């Protein structure tokens, strides 16, 4: 039995972290038996991040490593794809995880309406008396990281304009398809649908969440993924 170590459910999503949701999708798509175990503290894990899986006493951290492990055990998430599409699927996953994810994270940690909500939701395990101080420091470190990454230097309007190109690339693939590369979900859908699901599940409305919720194609796609790959 594989155990997925994940942040808990949040705002109607499988997890507060789209990487945990992605890992959940991959596990479910693999057909292997698995269960979830929720934790709020990533510090004891190799990269001090989640998700991770525990299997036969071994802990494997990072959703890409989880994917590689599942593939080493026989899962092939892109079995229906030809060589070109397999390459494109990999690029779509990277777009989701190395670009869109930071838009979503900034929309939570950087937005003054959303931040107070996630401060309570994500960090309820920190005693109330010191929560504001501790999480304020964490937020500062996060925003410094986003400044180094680059997106943190843009205004919300500039960020949305940049994200728009990704959303149009996704919508373009979905014009004649239920999922990004056909009628069944593949590896790229695990990443892209997890991020889009997180974006639309913002606990307070933002221009980004409104953009996703107002897009019938993207909404239908995330719904289709959630209905096809049902997560616990
Ligand atoms: N590359 C990692 C990214 C995972 C990740 O960024 N997890 C975030 C939550 S979305 C995390 O645990 N962050 C904790 C921290 O930075 O302290 C993966 O694919 O699993």
Ligand 1: which residue has its CA nearest to atom 8? 49
Q: Would you say residue 124 has pLDDT above 90?
A: no
Structure tokens at 1: 């039995």
Q: 13: burial class by Cβ within 10 Å (0-12, 13-18, 19+)?
A: buried
Mean pLDDT value of segment 21-29: 98
Q: pTM here?
A: 0.97
Residue 44: DSSP 8-state: T
Other Cβ atoms within 10 Å of 201 Cβ, number: 19
Ligand 1: which residue has its CA nearest to atom 6? 49
| Distance between Cα 7 and ligand 1 center (Å) | 10
pLDDT (0 to 100) of residue 88: 98
Q: How confident is the model at residue 121 (pLDDT cuts 50, 70, 90)?
A: confident
- Check if the beta carbon of residue 146 is closer than 8 Å to that of residue 110: yes
| Domains parsed from the chain with CATH numbers | 2-72 (3.40.30.10), 83-228 (1.20.1050.10)
Cα of first residue to Cα of last residue in the chain, in angstroms, is 15
| Distance between Cα 224 and ligand 1 center (Å) | 25
- Atom of ligand 1 lying closest to residue 49 CA: 12
Mean pLDDT value of segment 188-213: 98
Give the burial string for 111-144 (b: 16+ CB within 10 Å, else e): beebbebbbeebeeebeeeeeeeebeeeeeebee
| Distance between Cα 230 and ligand 1 center (Å) | 22
- Atom of ligand 1 lying closest to residue 61 CA: 20
- Helix (H), strand (E), coil (C) string for 140-187: HHHHHHHHHHCHHHCCHHHHHHHHHHHHHHHHHHCCCCCECCECCCCH
Structure tokens at 31: 């057909």
Distance CA 126, CA 145 (A): 22
Q: What is the pairing mode between strands 2-6 and 52-55?
A: antiparallel
| Distance between Cα 176 and ligand 1 center (Å) | 33
Ligand 1-lining residues (CB < 6 angstroms): 17, 19, 42, 48-51, 62-64
Ligand 1: which residue has its CA nearest to atom 16? 49
Q: Would you say residue 103 has pLDDT above 90?
A: yes
pLDDT (0 to 100) of residue 175: 93
Other Cβ atoms within 10 Å of 71 Cβ, number: 15
| Distance between Cα 43 and ligand 1 center (Å) | 11
Strand partners, 4: 36, 53
Q: What percent of the chain has pLDDT over 90?
A: 96
Ligand 1: which residue has its CA nearest to atom 10? 17
Q: How confident is the model at residue 172 (pLDDT cuts 50, 70, 90)?
A: very high
Ligand 1: which residue has its CA nearest to atom 13? 49
């Amino acid at each position: 039995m594989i155990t997925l170590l994940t942040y808990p459910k949040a705002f109607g999503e499988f997890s507060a972290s789209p990487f945990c949701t992605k890992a959940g999708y991959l596990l479910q798509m693999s057909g292997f038996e698995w269960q979830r175990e929720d934790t709020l503290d990533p510090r004891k894990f190799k990269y001090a991040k989640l998700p991770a899986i525990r299997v036969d006493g071994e802990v494997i951290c990072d959703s890409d490593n989880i994917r590689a492990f599942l593939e080493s055990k026989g899962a092939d998430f892109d079995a229906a794809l030809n060589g070109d599409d397999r390459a494109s699927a990999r690029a779509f996953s990277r777009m989701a995880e190395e670009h869109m994810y930071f838009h979503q994270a900034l929309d939570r940690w950087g937005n003054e309406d959303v931040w107070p909500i996630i401060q309570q939701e994500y960090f309820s395990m920190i005693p109330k008396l010191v929560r504001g101080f501790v999480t304020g420091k964490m937020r500062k470190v996060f925003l410094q990281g986003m400044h180094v990454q680059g997106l943190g230097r843009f205004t919300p309007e500039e960020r949305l304009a940049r994200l728009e190109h990704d959303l149009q690339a996704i919508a373009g693939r979905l014009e004649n398809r239920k999922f990004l590369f056909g009628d069944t979900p593949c590896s790229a859908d695990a990443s892209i649908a997890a991020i889009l699901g997180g974006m639309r599940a913002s606990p307070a409305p933002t221009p980004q969440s409104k953009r996703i919720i107002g897009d019938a194609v993207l909404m239908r796609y995330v719904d289709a993924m959630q209905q096809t790959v049902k997560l616990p």
